[in-house]
């Protein structure tokens, strides 16, 4: 299993190190579409590896909830879990052949 985190503009649960890496990632590229494309590419290149995607609620809101669900390749919420306490969302990507991502 591989965990992939979307960088967040407010990574309040992360250590200083991870928060700093997220900040640098967003400075290098703040286009979430490119992150989604990259995650899909990883899944397609490593079809036998389960990928756990983690995103803060504020990141999902910035991407757009409907767009984020479309990206996930899942039926609304079928593979999603969330933490109200931490306001995070995570899900397992489905089979890479299931992506109808555009």
Please state whether beta strands 80-83 and 88-92 pair in parallel, antiparallel, or not at all (unpaired): antiparallel
Please provide the DSSP assignment of 38-92 as one string: HHHHHHHH-TTS-EEEEEEHHHHHHH-HHHHHHHHTSSTTTTEEEETTTTEEEEE
Whole-number percent of the chain with pLDDT over 70 = 71
pLDDT at 55 over 50: yes
The confidence band for 96, taking pLDDT boundaries of 50, 70 and 90, is very low
């Amino acid at each position: 299993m591989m965990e992939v985190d979307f960088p967040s503009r407010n990574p309040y649960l992360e250590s200083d190190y991870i928060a700093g890496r997220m900040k640098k990632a967003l400075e290098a590229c703040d286009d979430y579409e490119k992150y989604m494309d990259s995650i899909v590419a990883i899944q397609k290149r490593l079809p036998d590896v389960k990928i756990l995607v983690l995103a803060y609620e504020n990141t999902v809101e910035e991407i757009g909830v409907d767009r984020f669900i479309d990206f996930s390749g899942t039926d609304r919420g079928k593979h999603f879990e969330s933490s109200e306490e931490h306001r995070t969302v995570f899900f397992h990507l489905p089979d890479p052949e299931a992506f109808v991502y555009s």
